[in-house]
Amino acid sequence: MSSNSSSLDRSNLIEAELEALFQVGKVLGRSLNLQETLQEVLKMLHDYAGMQHGVVTLRDEAGMLSINAVYAGRKQVPPKFSYRPGEGIIGSVLQAEQTVVVERAGDDSRFLDRLGLYERHLPFIGVPIYVNQALVGVLAAQPSVGNDNLLKERARFMEMVAQLISQSVRLANEIEKERQDLTDERDRLRRTVRNSYGFDNIIGHSSAMQRIFEMVRQVAKWNTTVLIRGESGTGKELIANAIHYNSPRHDADFIKVNCAALPENLLESELFGHEKGAFSGALTQHKGRFERADGGTLFLDEIGEISATFQAKLLRVLQEGEFERVGGAKTLKVNVRIITATNVDLESAVEAGDFREDLYYRLNVMPIKLPPLRQRTEDIPELSRFLIEKLGKSQGRPLQLTDSAVRLLMRHDWPGNVRELENCLERAAIMCEDGLIDRSVISLTGIEEKMPLNPPSSSSNNASTDTARSSPSSVDLNDESLDERERVIAALEQAGWVQAKAARLLNMTPRQIAYRIQTLNIKMRNI
CATH number at residue 364: 3.40.50.300
Cα 57 from Cα 112, distance rounded (Å)? 15
Q: What is the pLDDT of residue 264?
A: 83
pLDDT (0 to 100) of residue 456: 45
Same domain, 304 and 353: yes
The verdict on 301 and 314 lying in the same domain is: yes
Asked if residue 503 is part of any domain, the answer here is yes
Same domain, 501 and 377: no
Residue 431 neighbours by CB under 8 Å, 6+ apart: 441, 444, 445
What range does the domain containing 316 cover?
197-371
pTM of the model: 0.63
- How many domains are contained in the chain? 4
Q: Residue 477: which residues within 8 A CB-CB, separation 6 or more? A: 487, 490, 491, 505, 506
Q: How many helices, marked H, and strands, marked E, lie in the chain?
A: 19, 17
Same domain, 360 and 439: no
DSSP labels for 74-122? Answer: TS--PSP-EE-TTSHHHHHHHHHTS-EEESSGGGSTT---TTS---TTS
Q: What is the pLDDT of residue 475?
A: 61
In a domain, 192, yes or no: no
Let me know whether 330 and 447 are in one domain: no
Whether the Cβ atoms of residue 289 and residue 257 lie closer than 8 Å to each other: yes
Q: Residue 33: its pLDDT value, please? A: 83
Alpha helices per DSSP H over 197-273: 207-219, 236-245, 264-272
Strand partners, 83: 65
Same structural domain, 253 and 141: no
CATH number at residue 116: 3.30.450.40
Whether 36 and 165 share a structural domain = yes
**Structure confidence at residue 281 (pLDDT):** 75
163 and 22 share one domain: yes
Report the 10 Å Cβ neighbour count for 328: 16
**405 within some domain:** yes
Q: Which domain-ending residue is among 320, 349, 371?
A: 371
Same domain, 162 and 14: yes
Same domain, 361 and 221: yes
Looking at 318, 351, 371, the residue that finishes a domain is: 371
- List the pLDDT tens digit at each of the 527 positions of the chain: 445 545 557 788 888 888 888 888 888 877 778 888 898 999 999 999 899 999 999 988 888 888 888 888 777 676 677 888 888 898 999 888 999 999 998 898 898 888 888 889 999 999 999 998 899 999 999 998 887 788 999 999 999 999 999 988 888 888 888 888 888 887 787 777 777 776 666 788 899 999 999 999 999 999 999 999 999 999 999 999 999 999 999 989 999 999 998 888 889 889 999 888 888 777 888 899 999 999 999 999 999 999 998 999 999 999 888 888 988 888 999 999 999 999 999 999 999 999 999 999 999 999 999 999 999 999 999 999 999 999 999 999 999 999 889 999 998 999 999 999 999 999 999 998 899 998 889 988 888 776 655 444 433 344 333 333 334 445 666 665 577 888 888 888 888 889 888 898 889 998 888 988 888 888 887 65
> For residue 294, what pLDDT is reported?
94
Same domain, 458 and 506: no
| The predicted structure's pLDDT at residue 465 | 31
Among 442, 463, 484, the domain boundary falls at 463
